[in-house]
């Protein structure tokens, strides 16, 4: 078999300017923070910048700025005018796409190919999509002349930093809410670049405020009495804490939480395409994907040949420098996340599953984990039940379609699922039985702003994207809210 060596094809980082430290973005300007923490490049542990840690004074100022902007400007502005700002932001994001992509890759560790071709274009697409809704809110489906909630407190994770910001900020602004957003501790830099885009777009001061910090800053935002709606993406554990914290209040909330998706392969599936889909399902973004296809369910009579084909394909995954345009699998986002992946994988060994990874040389510095599969996994194993959130696939088998569905639904989560089969009738049958918010057939990990995304059970409350996602930022007398 011929193999190809790839010469390095490094994307230049010269397009990006990173300040040595950043303050918070409040009321249209950057203000110094008191305490700082480092944001690092997880592929080589280089300190990129010092980020401010928001305390209660910072959160108070940001929420007040958002309130004033809401009452004085943004909620009063005709939707058509708000839409113009969203279009302007979307166009600037496109113009500065390479800058965003390089910065995201430096701060997060994801391959430049993904930040360039997925994260950044999709983030811009969310702004374009919602810009179109801003003057058509009567047609969202929440009643006539719907109203925004007020100030939205938004908290996002580190796996798709800019994209999660876009999922949160674009619908909030289109609906007429103002925003205080807290990015994840390890990935604040593209949110801070987005703040500069807001300035460039001359967005009225206070409409978007970005406060950086850790979980304590997030909790201050959740508990602030001046916040009307919480939008959170992150772990189920923190999601539950937020639900408890807001239970005695009138705050609205959407929670996008974890997942442990089944990717089901029936024996009539085309094997090569399926193997590509399995790889995309679990190794895209290092497996740091809430809807990752992390439980592969193979029909027993094709299990062996599928696993063999998967191993051949996995041996071709290129792991390494995220700025290299040939790289498929980048760095794990933090040492903390690497530790979680290592310890959960160790339980797979202890509980008797068989681990396999292709030979690959991992860089010496930074946080790395090779693409890994576990075979011989049963439903009782922790690696079949708990979210690993890394490049680790648990492989189970089934004999009948009914058994596949039963195993797929045997999880506290219900975010996504995949079905591989040549037969349309079988796909539709399976899709109807699966308790998951998003179901892909003969593909995986496809996202689109018009398509609502969200989960069942412990995967969260509500939907983001599409008309459903926008409705969560609106209320009307007709639907009996407020
Ligand atoms: P996480 O610990 O829940 O953190 C998410 C965000 O919440 C971060 O900004 C975090 O700040 C903040 N936070 C932490 N504790 C908080 C608290 N008590 N109150 C308010 N905010 C708090 O989750 P993660 O480990 O970063 O992300 C991985 C998890 O997110 C996975 O379980 C994954 O499935 C889930 N996720 C879900 C989706 C979805 O759409 N359903 C998308 C992506 C990720 P710090 O970063 O500073 O700790
Ligand atoms: Mg970082």
Give the mutation target among 52, 155, 157 for probing the ligand 1 site: most ligand atoms within 8 A of CB: 157
Domain membership of residue 2 (yes or no) is: no
Q: How many Å lie between the centroid of ligand 1 and the Cα of residue 256?
A: 9
Asked if 60 and 92 sit in the same domain, the reply is yes
Q: What is the value of pTM for the model shown?
A: 0.97
Q: How many domains does the chain have?
A: 2
Look up the CATH number of the domain holding residue 401: 3.40.309.10
Report the C-alpha gap between 326 and 288 in whole angstroms.
19
Domain membership of residue 1 (yes or no) is: no
Asked if 287 and 386 sit in the same domain, the reply is yes
Q: How many Å lie between the centroid of ligand 2 and the Cα of residue 242?
A: 25
Asked if 27 and 109 sit in the same domain, the reply is yes
Token pair listed for 235: 């772990």
Domain membership of residue 395 (yes or no) is: yes
Asked if 413 and 435 sit in the same domain, the reply is yes
Give 41's DSSP letter: E
Domain membership of residue 16 (yes or no) is: no
What is the pLDDT, as a whole number, of residue 478? Answer: 65
What is the pLDDT, as a whole number, of residue 1? Answer: 56
Which residues are catalytic, by number?
256, 290
What is the pLDDT, as a whole number, of residue 477? Answer: 74
Sequential pLDDT tens for the chain (482 residues)? 566 778 999 999 999 999 999 999 999 999 999 999 999 999 999 999 999 999 999 999 999 999 999 999 999 999 999 999 999 999 999 999 999 999 999 999 999 999 999 999 999 999 999 999 999 999 999 999 999 999 999 999 999 999 999 999 999 999 999 999 999 999 999 999 999 999 999 999 999 999 999 999 999 999 999 999 999 999 999 999 999 999 999 999 999 999 999 999 999 999 999 999 999 999 999 999 999 999 999 999 999 999 999 999 999 999 999 999 999 999 999 999 999 999 999 999 999 999 999 999 999 999 999 999 999 999 999 999 999 999 999 999 999 999 999 999 999 999 999 999 999 999 999 999 999 999 999 999 999 999 999 999 999 999 999 999 999 999 987 655 54
Q: Which domain holds residue 372?
A: 262-441
Domain membership of residue 160 (yes or no) is: yes
Look up the CATH number of the domain holding residue 128: 3.40.605.10
Asked if 137 and 84 sit in the same domain, the reply is yes
Asked if 427 and 463 sit in the same domain, the reply is no
Domain membership of residue 204 (yes or no) is: yes
Asked if 32 and 60 sit in the same domain, the reply is yes
For 140, 249, 393, the CA distances from 135, given in Å and listed in that order, are 10, 30, 44
Asked if 239 and 161 sit in the same domain, the reply is yes
What is the pLDDT, as a whole number, of residue 329? Answer: 98
For 193-223, b/e burial (b = at least 16 CB within 10 A) is: bbbebbeebebbbbbbbbbbbeeebbbbbbb
Domain membership of residue 116 (yes or no) is: yes
Q: Is 157 in the pocket of ligand 1 (CB under 6 A)?
A: yes
Asked if 215 and 267 sit in the same domain, the reply is no
Asked if 50 and 191 sit in the same domain, the reply is yes
Which residues keep their CB under 5 angstroms from ion ligand 2?
Answer: 39, 107, 186
Report the C-alpha gap between 221 and 211 in whole angstroms.
9
Report the C-alpha gap between 332 and 326 in whole angstroms.
17
Domain membership of residue 312 (yes or no) is: yes
Place of tokens 């996340």: 337
DSSP one-letter string for 297-356? EEEHHHHHHHHHHHHHHHTT--BS-TTBTT-SB---S-HHHHHHHHHHHHHHHHTTPEEE
Looking at ligand 1, which residue's alpha carbon is closest to its atom 21? 218
Asked if 212 and 270 sit in the same domain, the reply is no
Asked if 167 and 274 sit in the same domain, the reply is no
């Amino acid at each position: 078999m011929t193999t190809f060596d790839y010469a390095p094809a490094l994307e230049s980082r010269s397009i990006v300017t990173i300040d040595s430290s950043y303050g918070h973005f409040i009321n249209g300007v950057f203000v110094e923070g008191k305490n700082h923490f480092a944001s690092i490049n997880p592929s080589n542990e280089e300190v990129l910048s010092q980020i401010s840690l928001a305390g209660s004074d910072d959160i108070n100022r940001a929420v007040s700025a958002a309130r004033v902007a809401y009452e004085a400007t943004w909620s009063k502005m005709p939707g058509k005018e708000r839409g113009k700002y969203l279009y302007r932001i979307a166009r600037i994001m496109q113009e500065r796409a390479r800058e965003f992509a390089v910065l995201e890759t430096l701060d997060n560790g994801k391959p430049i190919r993904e930040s360039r071709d997925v994260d950044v274009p999709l983030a811009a697409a969310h702004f374009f999509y919602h810009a179109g809704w801003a003057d058509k809110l009567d047609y969202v489906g929440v009643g006539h002349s719907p109203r925004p909630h007020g100030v939205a407190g938004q908290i996002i994770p580190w796996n798709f930093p800019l994209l999660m910001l876009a999922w949160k900020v674009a619908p909030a602004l289109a609906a007429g809410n103002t925003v205080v957003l807290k990015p994840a501790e390890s990935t604040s830099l593209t949110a801070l670049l987005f703040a500069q885009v807001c300035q460039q777009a001359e967005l009225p001061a206070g409409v978007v405020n970005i406060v950086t910090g850790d979980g304590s800053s997030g909790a201050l935002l959740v508990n602030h009495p001046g916040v009307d709606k919480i939008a959170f993406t992150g772990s189920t554990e923190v999601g539950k804490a937020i639900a408890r914290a807001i239970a005695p209040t009138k705050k609205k909330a959407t929670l996008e939480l974890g997942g442990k998706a089944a990717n089901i392969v029936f024996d009539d599936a085309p094997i090569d395409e399926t193997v590509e889909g399995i790889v995309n399902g679990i190794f895209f973004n290092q497996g740091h994907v809430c809807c990752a296809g992390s439980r592969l369910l193979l029909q027993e009579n094709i299990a062996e040949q599928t696993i063999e084909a998967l191993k051949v394909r996995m041996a071709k995954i290129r792991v390494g420098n995220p700025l290299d345009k040939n790289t498929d699998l980048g760095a794990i986002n933090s040492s903390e996340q690497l530790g979680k992946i290592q310890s959960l994988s160790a339980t797979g060994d202890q509980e008797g599953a068989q681990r396999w990874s292709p030979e690959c040389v991992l860089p010496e510095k930074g946080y790395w984990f090779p693409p890994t599969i576990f075979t011989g996994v049963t439903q009782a194993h922790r690696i079949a039940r708990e979210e690993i959130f890394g490049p680790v696939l648990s492989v189970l088998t089934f004999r009948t379609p009914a058994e596949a569905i039963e195993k797929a639904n045997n999880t506290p989560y219900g975010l996504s699922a995949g079905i591989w089969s040549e037969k349309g009738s079988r796909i539709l049958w399976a899709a109807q039985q699966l308790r998951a918010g998003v179901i892909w057939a003969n593909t995986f990990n496809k996202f689109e702003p018009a398509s609502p995304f969200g989960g069942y059970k412990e995967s969260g409350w509500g939907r983001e994207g599409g008309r459903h996602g926008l409705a969560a930022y609106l209320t009307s007398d007709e639907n009996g809210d407020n």
